[in-house]
Amino acid sequence: MNLDARLKELGLDANAQLRSATPHFKIREVFHSDTAEAKGIYNVPDASKLTIVLFNAERLAENVLEPLRNAFGVCKVSSWYRSEALNATIPGASATSSHMTGEAADVLFNALPGARIQEAFLWFLRPSAPKMDQVILERRGEHTVWLHLGCGSKMRGQLLLSPRGGGYFPFTGNQWQIDELMEGIG
């Protein structure tokens, strides 16, 4: 059974907007995962957890993703909700990841040059930026950079960098930290 059919069983329309204030984010995007599909992992919470996951996802979409999209243009969510089974397959993922409650999403800026991704990261330093738990500029491999965006029950206000070698380091406001992470990305 595909994702849309599973959501329908739970009374959800995959094509519906999360909230009226989030015209660019649909219910399907919360649960879709290329990895889950490739590995045949069921990535929809059971009914008892569904309401809170959707509530968390709606809050993230309205407070963070929609404003970010308005500022920077099309962004693709590559990973949002993760079931325990899916989270367990992600190398380096925390066993208490905020993805498991729908409170975090990873956002790729397709076709955005590296400079714009940096700009999007630094956008969260503005006094008027949405309040956040964690914003992480993450790099894996030669070409992949994304922003991990989390807000919800924990609100630690952390800006972190995760270079391709792994680990998480506080961003202390020094441009060289970003330059080092982004080295070789156009």
- In the window 95-114, what residues touch Zn ion (CB under 5 A)? 106
Minimum distance from residue 136 beta carbon to Zn ion (Å): 7
**Spatial distance between the Cα atoms of 50 and 37, rounded to a whole number of angstroms:** 19
Token pair belonging to 175 = 């441009």
Residue with structure tokens 């940096």?
118
Which of 132, 167, 165 is closest to 151 using CA atoms? 132
Which of 158, 153, 165, 156 is closest to 60 using CA atoms? 153
Q: Which is nearer to Zn ion, 11 or 141 (CB)?
A: 141
Q: Which is nearer to Zn ion, 4 or 97 (CB)?
A: 97
- Site map for Zn ion, 19-48, x if CB under 5 A? ------------------------------
Q: Which is nearer to Zn ion, 4 or 106 (CB)?
A: 106
Residue with structure tokens 């964690």?
134
- Site map for Zn ion, 128-157, x if CB under 5 A? --------------------x---------
User: Is the CB of residue 147 less than 8 Å from the CB of residue 107?
Assistant: yes
Half-sphere exposure of 104 (CA within 13 A, CB side): 24
Minimum distance from residue 98 beta carbon to Zn ion (Å): 8
Residue 62 makes contact with Zn ion by CB under 5 A: no
Residues near Zn ion (CB under 5 A) = 106, 148
